[in-house]
Chains A and B, each alone.
Chain A
Amino acid sequence: MKKISNNAGFTLLETIIAVTLSSLIFLLIANTYDLNQKIYNKTDNKSEITQNGRVILDRLSRELRQTQYLVTELPTNTSNPNTLPDEIMFQDGHDTSQIKYIRYYLDNGNINRQIIVYYFPADPNTFVRINDTDQHDPLNPASSTPLVQEDKIIGEYVSDIEFWGNKLVNINLYLSKNNETEILNTAIYGRNL
C-alpha cells in the first residue's frame, strides 16, 4: 500500500477565508438570481395587465363606436371624481335585428360584459327599448323587467374604470397586479350618437 507522503491539510484560517469568500460570491450570485426573478415577475405582471387593458379597451371601443344610444348618463368632465361612473350601458349597434343593451361594469377587479334585454310582461319574446312603456300596462315599464342574457368576464386586474365626456366618451382604465400599475386613457367617438 502506498503511503500518503503529503498529509498536510488546510489550515483553519485557509478554510475560513475560503468558506467566507465562496459564501460571499454565492450570496452575490443568489441575489442576482433573486433580483432577476423579481424583475421577470414585474415585467410579466406589467405585460399581463397591459394585455388585459388592451382587450378591454379594444372590445369596448368597437361596441361603443357603433352604438346609437347611451343609457348611462356621463358627467361632462372630471371635476368631481366621485361622480364618475365605473360602468357604462348602451344599445348594441351591431346586432340590429333585436334591441339589446350592453353593459360593461367593474366587479371585484374584473370588467364584466353583460347583454341585457327588456320586454313588456305581456309579451316577453319581443324586446323593447329601456325607456318604453306599455300603454296598456303603464305601471310596468320595460325598465322594470331587465333580463341578463349573458354575463362574462372580459378582463382582469382592473382597480378602477371611469367614464366621462360630453360628446366623446372618455375612458380611464386603471389596472394593477402585485403592485404593478398601468393607466390607459382614451376617447371614443360614437359615430351614431
Chain B
Amino acid sequence: MDAISNLFKNKRGFVLLASIMVMSLMMALALYLTEFTITEMKISSSQSVATQTYYLAESAIAEAIWRIKNDSTWKNNFENDPNWSMTYTRHDALYPGASYTINIQNTGEARGQIIATGFLPLGKSTAQRVTKAIVYKALGTSLINDDGTYADTGMDVYGSYIHVQNGSIFANGNIDVSFWTTLQSDNTVGTAHNLNSNWFSNIVGTKMAANNTPPNPATSTPMPAISFDNLSDPNSYLSQATAQELADGQKHVFTATEFSNYMWTNKNLTINGITYVKGDVNITGPQRLTINGVLISDGSITVGKNTWFCCWNDFDRCGRSVVIINQPTTTSPSGLVAKSNVNFDLCFNTFDSEGLIYANNQVNMLSLPASFAVEGAVAGRYMVFTSLWQGVNILFNNALVNATLGNPMYSPVVTVDHWEEEY
C-alpha cells in the first residue's frame, strides 16, 4: 500500500505517464483503424475483380450458346452426339491476361450443361468465377404438324379399323368413312372440308374440326415436298444415295429391273441407308425385305403385289410379303418414299415400319394384313384404305417424320433451362 500511495504522492513524472497512456491509446486506435481499413481495401478490391470476373464468365456462356447456334461443328455435335463433351479456352478474353474456359457436357441429344469459368489475374493470385447453364433445343414441329395420317386432298376409308395414336388425322379435302369403319385418333380428326360418315361407321377423336362440325374447320396444310432426283441439290435423295455409294462401296442406286433381280436372288433381303430405285418397286410373293433406312422410288412402291395365289414368276415362289423398316440412327431418314403411289396390296402379311410412308400421289391399301404397324406417319396426296377390319395402327412420331422429310430436327432456338449466376 505504501508503494501505491507513494506513487501518487510523488507527482513528478505523472504527466509523462499520462501522456504515454493517452498516446498509446491513440496509437492503438490508429493501428486498429489501419487494420480495419486494409481489410476494407482488400474486400473492395476483390469485390471489384470478382465483378469483372463474373461478367467474364457470363460472356463465356454467351459465346458457348452462340456457338451452339451458329458454329456448324458445335451445332452438329450438340444435336447428334448424346455424349458430346468438349473444353474450349479463350485467352486474353475481354481483359489483357484474362481467360475463360467453357466446358460443355451433353446429357442427351440437343441437351447439355455448360460450365464457364472466368479467370482474371489479381497481383500474384487469380480471381475465378463459375457460371453454369443448362440448355436444350426443342424438337421442331414436323411439316405435317402432328398428323399420323396426312392427305393433301381427300381420304376414303372403307371397311377398316384405323387407329392413330399420339397424333391427329388430317386431310385438306373430305374425309369419307363407310362400311362399318372405325377411324380413331387420340387427338384431332380434322379437315378443311367435311367429315362424312356412312354405313354404320364412326369417327372418334378428342376434337373434330370440319366444315360440318362447328365451330371451325381445320386450317389447310400444304403437302411437304421431297427432293427426289435433282442431282444439283445435295439433299435430294438421289444425290444422297449416290454419295452413300461412293462412301461405302455398296450399291444404293438401282434401276427397277436391278432391284427386282436383287430381291429375287435374296429372298431375305436387308438393305441399309438410302436406297434409290429408278422406277417401280414391286415386293411380291414371300419376299422378306428389311430396310434399315429408307427405300425411295421415283415410280410406285407396291408391298405384297397381288398375283395369282400370291406367287412370283408363275408358281416359282408363293407366299405373302413381309416388310420391316428400322431407323438406323436417330437422325437418319427411314420409311418408304415414292414419287407416285405407295400401295399395300392383297399379298402382304406383315408391315412393321419405323419411319415415314410418303407418296407424292396416292397411298392405297387394299389388303388383309396380319399386322400393319407404322411408327412415324403416313402422308400422301390422296389416301384410300380398305383393310377389311384388320387393325391399322399408326403411332405418330415427330422425330421420324422430321428425319425423313429433311426438315431441321431441332428448333433453331437454344433454350436456356437454368442459369446459375455465380458461385
* Smallest CB gap from B32: residue in A: A36
The listed residue (B16, B30, B38, B65) touching A33 by CB distance below 8 A is: B30
Task: Check if A16 is an interface residue, CB within 8 A of chain B.
Answer: no
One digit per residue, 1 when the CB lies within 8 angstroms of any chain A CB and 0 when it does not, for chain B 61-89 equals 11101100010000000000000000000
**B23–A22 touching, CB < 8 Å:** yes
CB distance from B206 to the nearest CB of A (A): 30
One digit per residue, 1 when the CB lies within 8 angstroms of any chain B CB and 0 when it does not, for chain A 24-62 equals 010001001101100110111011001001100100010
In the complex, chain B residues whose CB is within 8 Å of the CB of A54: 51
* Smallest CB gap from A6: residue in B: B12
Stretch at the interface among B40-48, B266-274, B391-399: B40-48
Using A43-B41, A50-B48, A184-B55 as known contacts, say yes or no to A189 and B30 having CB atoms under 8 A apart. Answer: no
In the complex, chain B residues whose CB is within 8 Å of the CB of A183: 52, 95
CB distance from A168 to the nearest CB of B (A): 6
Chain A: interface size category: 20 to 34
Interface size on B, residues (CB 8 A): 36
The listed residue (A39, A57, A168, A182) touching B41 by CB distance below 8 A is: A39
CA distance A162 to B41 in the complex (A): 29
CB distance from B13 to the nearest CB of A (A): 11
CA distance A3 to B65 in the complex (A): 96
Task: Check if A136 is an interface residue, CB within 8 A of chain B.
Answer: no
In the complex, chain A residues whose CB is within 8 Å of the CB of B44: 43-44, 46-47, 50
In the complex, chain B residues whose CB is within 8 Å of the CB of A191: 65, 413-414, 416
CA distance A44 to B43 in the complex (A): 11
In the complex, chain A residues whose CB is within 8 Å of the CB of B62: 168, 186-189
Task: Check if A83 is an interface residue, CB within 8 A of chain B.
Answer: no
In the complex, chain B residues whose CB is within 8 Å of the CB of A25: 23, 27
CA distance A54 to B50 in the complex (A): 11
In the complex, chain A residues whose CB is within 8 Å of the CB of B95: 183, 185
The listed residue (B26, B63, B94) touching A185 by CB distance below 8 A is: B94
CB distance from B217 to the nearest CB of A (A): 29
CB distance from A158 to the nearest CB of B (A): 15
In the complex, chain A residues whose CB is within 8 Å of the CB of B31: 32
**A47–B51 touching, CB < 8 Å:** no
CA distance A88 to B313 in the complex (A): 76
In the complex, chain A residues whose CB is within 8 Å of the CB of B41: 39, 42-43
**A57–B55 touching, CB < 8 Å:** yes
Task: Check if B122 is an interface residue, CB within 8 A of chain A.
Answer: no
CA distance A183 to B53 in the complex (A): 11
The listed residue (B23, B30, B56, B413) touching A186 by CB distance below 8 A is: B56
CB distance from B106 to the nearest CB of A (A): 19
CA distance A27 to B61 in the complex (A): 53
How many A-B residue contacts, CB cutoff 8 Å?
94
Using A39-B41, A46-B45 as known contacts, say yes or no to A187 and B51 having CB atoms under 8 A apart. Answer: no
Task: Check if A94 is an interface residue, CB within 8 A of chain B.
Answer: no
Interface residues in A106-127 (C-beta closer than 8 Å to B): none
Using A22-B23, A191-B413 as known contacts, say yes or no to A182 and B30 having CB atoms under 8 A apart. Answer: no
**B40–A43 touching, CB < 8 Å:** yes
The listed residue (A22, A36, A47, A182) touching B37 by CB distance below 8 A is: A36
**B51–A186 touching, CB < 8 Å:** no
The listed residue (B19, B38, B47, B63) touching A168 by CB distance below 8 A is: B63
**B19–A22 touching, CB < 8 Å:** yes
**B55–A50 touching, CB < 8 Å:** no
* Smallest CB gap from B48: residue in A: A50
Task: Check if B59 is an interface residue, CB within 8 A of chain A.
Answer: yes
Using A33-B30, A33-B33, A186-B58 as known contacts, say yes or no to A53 and B63 having CB atoms under 8 A apart. Answer: no
**A182–B48 touching, CB < 8 Å:** yes
CB distance from A157 to the nearest CB of B (A): 13
Task: Check if B34 is an interface residue, CB within 8 A of chain A.
Answer: yes
CA distance A35 to B413 in the complex (A): 55
CB distance from A162 to the nearest CB of B (A): 12
CA distance A61 to B70 in the complex (A): 20
**B40–A53 touching, CB < 8 Å:** no
CB distance from B209 to the nearest CB of A (A): 28
CB distance from B121 to the nearest CB of A (A): 14
CB distance from A56 to the nearest CB of B (A): 11
Interface residues in B82-136 (C-beta closer than 8 Å to A): 94-95
In the complex, chain B residues whose CB is within 8 Å of the CB of A187: 58-59, 62-63, 94
Most A Cβ at <10 Å: residue of B34, B37, B41, B45: B37
CB distance from B211 to the nearest CB of A (A): 33
**B48–A32 touching, CB < 8 Å:** no
In the complex, chain B residues whose CB is within 8 Å of the CB of A167: 66, 70
One digit per residue, 1 when the CB lies within 8 angstroms of any chain A CB and 0 when it does not, for chain B 403-423 equals 000000000011010000000
In the complex, chain B residues whose CB is within 8 Å of the CB of A36: 30, 33-34, 36-37
* Smallest CB gap from B62: residue in A: A189
Using A183-B95, A185-B95 as known contacts, say yes or no to A39 and B37 having CB atoms under 8 A apart. Answer: yes
CB distance from B63 to the nearest CB of A (A): 6
CB distance from A160 to the nearest CB of B (A): 16
In the complex, chain A residues whose CB is within 8 Å of the CB of B37: 35-36, 39-40, 43
Using A22-B19, A40-B40, A191-B414 as known contacts, say yes or no to A186 and B33 having CB atoms under 8 A apart. Answer: no
* Smallest CB gap from A65: residue in B: B62
* Given A43-B43, A187-B58: 6 more A-B contacts, CB < 8 Å: A22-B19, A32-B33, A43-B44, A54-B51, A185-B95, A191-B65
Q: State the A residues within 8 Å of B (CB).
A: 18, 22, 25, 29, 32-33, 35-36, 39-40, 42-44, 46-47, 50, 53-54, 57, 61, 167-168, 170, 182-189, 191-192
Could you jot down 9 A-B contacts, CB within 8 Å? A22-B19, A46-B44, A53-B51, A167-B66, A186-B56, A187-B59, A189-B66, A191-B65, A192-B413
